Structure 1
Amino acid sequence: MSRSSKHSGVGRRSALRFMGLGGVLTAGGVGAGVVAKDLIAPASASAADGHLSLTSGKAVEGLGVPSFAPGGRRPKYRRASWTQQFQSGHGWKADGAGTASSNLNDTTVFTRGSQATRVTTQGNGVQSSLRRTGLAPMNLTGKMIRLIFRVDDVTHLGKIVLYLGSGGLKNTFTWRVHNHAKTGANYVQSGEWVTVHLQWADVASAAGTYTLSANGEPSVKTGFTDFSFAVYDDAGGAVTYRLQAVELVPDTTSVFPKGVVSITFDDSHKSIHDLARPVMDPAGMPGTIYNIADAIGTGSFLSIAQMRSLQDSSGWEMAGHSYATSAHTASYEKLSAQQVDDDLRTLREWLVGNGFTSEHFAYPHGSFQKTTDGVPVDLLAARHFTTARSIVSETIESFAPAMPYRLKALTGVNDGSGIGGTTLAKVIGAGGPLDRCARSGDWLILCLHKLVAGTPGASTEISQAGLGTLVKEIEKRGIEVLTVQEAMEYYA
């Protein structure tokens, strides 16, 4: 993509939209008198001006300095009330018939202190684990668990599970930390240190004397003495994993005792204005729209006037999804790092140039893997935006997010049956995401797309009546609705 092409820069159609604001556009923070065309960074910007360094130490060449860098509203780091960082004398052991070898004091690869643990599985699909029993009893009321770990190569990764319990793990609660998909975006990727927050809303099952109610309420939240971090390969090959930290950090039940829901919409459909807004406005619920700039003002998509009305009159957030329709269709992992960075840059310029204040972004198709030349897409997004939303939904998102550039969201919410996605019945049913959000104080991000007046026919559609039901169920539970921008600003 050349910087002068329609699909990599602010093209002629977008320039006309800028002029529609009243002629010459100035940019606050850039300098008085700066016109729209001057907001575009020159194509000749050198790597020294805006290079991105990877973990390998290699710099990504040719990336200019972002025209509008993130404003710094990143979440405060939540200090641990209890921590195990796997330094010398940690007392954990490798276990399980699926374990081939281990080094519990590995000084070759770590991200804290001077060492971490390392375990390699057998490649037989059987549980391998790092565990510790007999700790002093812990109270996890008002707490969530923070894990920091790494899988060297995820090719044969099956799943990761955490067990918390007592009695030598005879009594346990189980969290599904990660289920690895062979295709699509995965929260856990090869060779990366990953942070995961596990909340009470995410408990999957109970054993021994522990139980879960029909609404997913755990029978106890105190007296825990045992941990087991378990990894299963896919029985097709071995996996090497490293555990750096297991910690307890405060949750936000004291701030939002019934949690927060963010209702987000992808792709800029006009039906969001025409059908969603009349349902959400009376309830005082703002939404976040992740927009494709190139589509605005065409066909069945939003106009700038509608976007501005939603933002200025109803408190909605106008966030970014892609600049070029072609980039969205292709998905960023099918493009080079330069092409992705260009699309992100011009998207941010377009948002700022048209008076939209959001610094938040959602990946096209939820994909944040590597570009065709091997650059992680989430690192590129971090150059231009404060958060980036995925469509990973293994666990509910937390305050603060464990990884702000991999925000988790429940996608494809619709009121259909047999059309894919996530049915409304699953979201609002007993023990479902709304119930769990309301009792755990966490952050449930919902991803919707297109509204229809009648019966939805695809996983990306929800009826106006279905959205009305969702709004009523949120109101009934007393859950606060915030835009992504509002939620992040609250904890910045």
Structure 2
Amino acid sequence: MSRRSALRLAGTGGLVTAGGALLSGGQAQHAAATGIADLAPPTYAPSGRRPRHRRATWSQQFQPGHGWTAAGAGTASADTGDTSVFVRGTQSVRVTTTGTGKQSYVRRLGGTATSLTGKAIRLVFRVDDVTHLSKLSFYLGTGSLANHFLWQFHTHSATAANYVQSGEWVTVHLQWADVAAAAGTYSLSSTGVPSTTTGFTDMSFAVYDNAGGPVTYRLQAVELIPDTTSVFPKGVVSVTFDDSHTSVYGLARPVMDAYGFAGTVYNIADAIGTGGYLALDQMRSLQDFSGWEMAGHAYASSAHTASYSALTAKQVDDDLRTLREWLVGNGFTSEHFAYPHGAFQKTTDGVPVDQIASRHFTTARSIVSETIESFAPAMPYRLKALTGVNDGSGIGGTALSGLTAAGGRLDRCAHNGDWLILCLHRVVDGTPTASTEIGKAGLGTLMKAIADRGIPVVTVAEAMQYYT
């Protein structure tokens, strides 16, 4: 059995074929993986078209004399010049919370008035252990923050994939489209436009633990960078479809063709040509005649079902390698990928899945949607996407009506500018019965809403070309 038709499963000592048959350990040669250094070079490495680093127009990197303070009822201890762990310069700010669920912060008040017109905020930080992390926020304002805008940019989940993981330096971009609330003299319009984008003197990075124990966090940088509006004044949307369902060709394509919109399909290779899934000629037709992108989601259906975080590093690397070989071998040159179930946590032997994905693809998309993606992405191997968009009733997911309503994500995209990535799955010619389905009529409503707002639609590959 070739590597293309089998996948090692963690803890079994055997192989599972693309069809799901288990082979005994005696029939399979098992090789333990201890890390990326032990993995074979990729057959097709990314071309190098990764987003260039966006230079800051203003930067606080928390080097000696930075003048910010660490305090709050939730702060137990702090060192504003910690030299033990840092990723820039010679130091960072280290804070440990009290474990009581109260706010801990690192802030600057009464600074020089700053304009954020046409700007986004870039944060670089680390949480040593996220076990007791509850949420992360950022405040921007005046009057000792009596007037402020609030970004609630991370709420930690005990079950879902988290953008913020233990012991990793994380980069987050905060855009005007993501403002969660306004206070004092500041306000947000019905379409989510802030009352002002200039004159700010106060900034605060706030952390809350879950009252179950303390959290130690480190802040390395608060910066301003150019936002998406310099390239896309009304923002931009990418419409993506996971899992290779044949309804993408039969139902989604005609709806999107009518508007001249092209989508990105994240494909499961060994499902192609089987019941309910796209055929190769349909994939080629989507690519060659409607401008769609044929990207990767998994090679083996068994790997997709298990999720990469349930496999070893070698199993994940083998699946990604075989997937890329399959795509290139069939004339699909996309270098973009979406994690099965959006999961990019560590493998069973402790290797971050996003690091393995970076060996084979230029970006990797998650289904994290606390904030919407930016140009260039803060972390291209954790692209954010809004998933579960549907026009059903009582089936969960993201209600289409909320997306298209006044002040919804489409309005915020059009009026503030961001990269809104939508993750869809199956299209049905009727009423959806699951959050992974959207009706053909609902898809038509969504495409019309995008077109009516004048928001351009691009594939993921096209979006990345603007910043590479």
Shorter-chain TM-score range? over 0.9
Select which of 271, 285, 294 maps to 1:309: 285
Query: Partners of 2:43 and 2:243 in 1: how far apart?
Result: 24
Letter of the 1:398 partner, please give it: S
**Contact 1:7–1:325 (8 Å) recurs in 2:** no
**Contact 1:7–1:323 (8 Å) recurs in 2:** no
CA deviation after TM superposition for structure 1 residue 6, in Å:
3.0
Which residue of 2 is the match for residue 351 of structure 1?
A: 327
Is 1:130 matched up with 2:141?
no
Question: Which string of whole-angstrom CA distances, capped at 9 and with x for unpartnered residues, describes residues 443-484 of structure 1?
Answer: 000000000000000000000000000000000000000000
1:328-477 correspondence to structure 2 within 5 Å: 328-477=304-453
The root-mean-square deviation of aligned C-alpha atoms, in Å, is 2.0
Question: Identical aligned pairs, as a percentage?
Answer: 72
Is 1:231 matched up with 2:199?
no
Taking structure 1 as the reference length, what is the TM-score of the superposition?
Answer: 0.90
1:52-63 correspondence to structure 2 within 5 Å: 59-60=35-36, 62-63=38-39
Which residue of 2 is the match for residue 6 of structure 1?
A: 6
Which residue of 2 is the match for residue 81 of structure 1?
A: 57
CA deviation after TM superposition for structure 1 residue 13, in Å:
9.3
Which residue of 2 is the match for residue 30 of structure 1?
A: none
**Contact 2:134–2:209 (8 Å) recurs in 1:** yes
Which residue of 2 is the match for residue 99 of structure 1?
A: 75
Distance 1:231 1:288, change over 3 A: same
Query: Partners of 1:194 and 1:172 in 2: how far apart?
Result: 24
CA deviation after TM superposition for structure 1 residue 317, in Å:
0.2
- Give the secondary structure class of the aligned counterpart of 2:203: strand
Which residue of 1 is the match for residue 152 of structure 2?
A: 176
- Give the secondary structure class of the aligned counterpart of 2:305: helix
**Contact 2:432–2:438 (8 Å) recurs in 1:** yes
Mark the runs of 5 or more structure 1 residues left unpaired by the alignment: 15-42, 52-57
CA deviation after TM superposition for structure 1 residue 60, in Å:
3.6
Select which of 110, 118, 121 maps to 2:86: 110
Which residue of 2 is the match for residue 272 of structure 1?
A: 248
Letter of the 2:416 partner, please give it: S
Is 1:318 matched up with 2:258?
no
Query: Partners of 2:18 and 2:351 in 1: how far apart?
Result: 30
Question: Which string of whole-angstrom CA distances, capped at 9 and with x for unpartnered residues, describes residues 29-72 of structure 1?
Answer: xxxxxxxxxxxxxx99x99xxx9xxxxxx854541100000011
Query: Partners of 1:115 and 1:430 in 2: how far apart?
Result: 45
Which residue of 2 is the match for residue 220 of structure 1?
A: 196
Is 1:186 matched up with 2:162?
yes
- Give the secondary structure class of the aligned counterpart of 1:306: helix
- Give the secondary structure class of the aligned counterpart of 2:371: coil
CA deviation after TM superposition for structure 1 residue 439, in Å:
1.2
Question: Bigger shift: 368-377 or 248-257?
Answer: 248-257
Query: Partners of 2:64 and 2:54 in 1: how far apart?
Result: 24
Show structure 1 runs of 4+ deviating over 4 A.
Answer: 11-14
Which residue of 2 is the match for residue 292 of structure 1?
A: 268
Mark the runs of 5 or more structure 2 residues left unpaired by the alignment: 9-15, 20-27
Query: Partners of 2:337 and 2:425 in 1: how far apart?
Result: 15
CA deviation after TM superposition for structure 1 residue 282, in Å:
1.5
Instruction: Count matched residues.
Output: 453
Question: Which string of whole-angstrom CA distances, capped at 9 and with x for unpartnered residues, describes residues 242-291 of structure 1?
Answer: 00000000112122100110000000000000000000011100000000
Question: Bigger shift: 233-242 or 425-434?
Answer: 425-434
Query: Partners of 2:393 and 2:325 in 1: how far apart?
Result: 40
Query: Partners of 1:475 and 1:168 in 2: how far apart?
Result: 42
Query: Partners of 2:35 and 2:442 in 1: how far apart?
Result: 48
Query: Partners of 2:383 and 2:303 in 1: how far apart?
Result: 21
Query: Partners of 2:454 and 2:148 in 1: how far apart?
Result: 31
Letter of the 1:270 partner, please give it: T
Query: Partners of 1:93 and 1:420 in 2: how far apart?
Result: 42
- Give the secondary structure class of the aligned counterpart of 2:297: strand
Taking structure 2 as the reference length, what is the TM-score of the superposition?
Answer: 0.94
